[in-house]
Structure 1
Amino acid sequence: MIDFLAEKVNLPHFIKEEIKDWIKSVIASYDYELGDLSYLFCDDDYIIEINRQYLQHDYYTDIITFDYCTGKVISGDLVISLDTVRSNSEMFNTSYETELKRVVIHGVLHLLGFKDSTVEEKDQMRAEENKALSLLSTFH
């Protein structure tokens, strides 16, 4: 099951059933199965409080992923700051919608085991994001 929730922001208009189908397809493409995913879209004030409270980090971020996976079942809570996604889309000169979709799947890729701490891991993560984004066009 995939849930989309919003805290202090409106749910983005393009977060619909085809996004759920896309996420399920990406998970299946790695031979994993969907458990429970919950996306919470919020603002910067909310995500920094989550970052401080749960991770003891005192900075803004676009996504925080809480991993509840067991074996080959992908489950987690994903908290996404729409403010940071918007500023990142401007910084990277991409559309807000594309950047948000990238962040949505970025969290799933973390749950699938991909990391982004080193340059090599970041390059691999970006390649996996691009691969997943290319699948999205089949769901429209």
Structure 2
Amino acid sequence: MSEKQNAPARVQVNSLCPNLGYEESDIERLIRVLDKAGAFDAPLGELSIAFVEKDYIAQLHDQFMGDPSPTDVITFPADPDLDQAGEIIVCPQVAKEFAKREKLHFTDELSLYLIHGYLHLCGFDDIEDSDRALMRRAEKQALDIVRKAKAMPTFTLS
């Protein structure tokens, strides 16, 4: 385990979703638990997490990936020289719609999106099938770590 893996991330959480309920400390704890587990090579520095509406994430998806449809999560790596670990942008509405359609819990789905973004910052990708399989295994491992530590946040969206 490297020193880097044990360093707690500083987490800055912002929400542009007025109907999203959560405790910022719960989100910080989820990230701290993943960092302290040492299972993933998370970058040092401040981690920015933003919850945004569907129209906004669709704009970002179009601007940076050429796809105008709303997506669940977009991750931007940052410059470690600026003490930034990266940014995870998540759309709670997409999580709620998917969870309802698939009969899943909204909190679990939105937490998975945070974990997915975190894993992108740790170097995982999901474009190619082989990479996607590695990402799914890492997601399962991360979910197991978070659940074992009882560090799943609780979210509400009205």
Q: Which TM-score bucket, shorter chain as reference? A: 0.7 to 0.9
* Contact kept? 1:44, 1:83, Cα under 8 Å: yes
Q: Distance in 1 between matches of 2:57 and 2:33?
A: 28
The answer to whether the aligner puts 1:4 opposite 2:7 as a matched pair is: no
Taking a change above 3 Å as real, the CA distance of residues 109 and 74 of structure 1, as seen in their structure-2 partners, is farther
1:76-111 CA distance string (max 9 Å, x none)? 111111111112213333211000000001001000
Tell me the secondary structure at the aligned position of residue 125 of structure 2. Answer: coil
Q: Which amino acid aligns with 1:118?
A: E
Taking a change above 3 Å as real, the CA distance of residues 12 and 69 of structure 1, as seen in their structure-2 partners, is farther
Uncovered stretches (5+) of structure 2, i.e. residues with no partner:
1-9, 152-158
Q: Distance in 1 between matches of 2:41 and 2:88?
A: 21
Q: Distance in 2 between matches of 1:96 and 1:104?
A: 13
Uncovered stretches (5+) of structure 1, i.e. residues with no partner:
none
> Quick one: higher RCO (CA 8 Å, sep 6+), 1 or 2?
2
- Residue range with higher mean Cα deviation, 109-118 or 74-83: 74-83
Q: Which amino acid aligns with 1:113?
A: G
Match of 2:155 in 1: none
* Contact kept? 1:9, 1:41, Cα under 8 Å: no
- Residue range with higher mean Cα deviation, 76-85 or 108-117: 76-85
Number of equivalences: 138
Q: TM-score, normalised by structure 1?
A: 0.84
The answer to whether the aligner puts 1:96 opposite 2:106 as a matched pair is: yes
Tell me the secondary structure at the aligned position of residue 114 of structure 1. Answer: coil
Question: Cα offset for 1:128?
Answer: 0.8
Q: TM-score, normalised by structure 2?
A: 0.75
Q: Distance in 1 between matches of 2:29 and 2:43?
A: 13
Tell me the secondary structure at the aligned position of residue 124 of structure 2. Answer: coil
Aligned with residue 21 of structure 1, among 29, 40, 51: 29
What is the root-mean-square deviation of aligned Cα atoms in Å? 2.2
Aligned with residue 79 of structure 1, among 89, 100, 107: 89
Q: Distance in 1 between matches of 2:32 and 2:71?
A: 25
